[in-house]
Amino acid sequence: MLAGGVASLLGGAIWVAAAVAAVGGAIALAGLARHYPHRRLGLCNVVTLARGGLVAGLAGLLAAPQVLEGFVAWAALGVALLALAMDGLDGWAARRAGLSSDFGARLDMEVDVALGLILALLAWLSGKAGFWVLGLGLMRHVFVAAGWVLPALQGALFPSFRRKLVCVIQIAALIALMAPVVQPPLAGWIAGVALAILGASFLRDAVWLLARGRRA
């Protein structure tokens, strides 16, 4: 009976993952058709879309967070690690093939944002950390929303290795929370440190944009 219940929950998760993949894939392909400046799709965008598929698979677990134990948790952790490891490969492939584009970079960033949000939701729903852990997945959304109130925050940011490193720390911390061996209070400490680092990074960018806005 227990096995049947788990199978039923996983079945629901698969349907959710398929729905997310279908909707996300349709939006991405429509965007490529309208805004992608090159004639070839290229390996770079195939990698980004594949990462999106992995993220959709993790999104399916939102329908059944209670199964995130034992083998399922380790398998999900492996999927998340693969999605993280593939980040950067698409940019490298785009530059190598001469297929770099603003749309491709934006698509890659949105996959990163979606991965962070889904992992944060899973950390909260599985009881690894409190509601506040969602800050690790919602920080960019809050930053964008703040830009509606303070237009200076909508300005373009300079390229930054620090920003990329903080993104890796954010995702790596959330992936660590998926491990069955990582339980409270350790999970809370890991998430808390990552949230502090992420918040400091966004604050630094916000201060820089606001200062530039005042000088303009």
Domains of the chain: residue spans and CATH: 2-215 (1.20.120)
pLDDT of residue 86: 92
- Please answer whether residues 120 and 177 qualify as being in contact, where contact means their C-beta atoms are separated by less than 8 angstroms: no
pLDDT of residue 149: 95
SS3 (DSSP) at 37: coil
From 76, 58, 60, select the one nearest 14 (Cα to Cα).
60
From 192, 186, 76, select the one nearest 135 (Cα to Cα).
192
pTM metric for this prediction: 0.89
pLDDT of residue 4: 47
**Six token digits for residue 128:** 């690894």
pLDDT of residue 10: 60
Rounded Cα gap, residues 3 and 75, in angstroms: 18
pLDDT tens for each residue of the chain, 216 residues long? 444 445 555 666 777 777 777 787 777 777 777 878 888 888 888 899 999 999 999 999 999 888 889 999 999 999 999 999 998 888 888 888 888 888 888 888 889 999 999 999 999 999 999 999 999 999 999 999 999 999 999 999 988 999 999 999 999 999 999 999 999 999 999 999 999 999 999 999 999 999 998 876
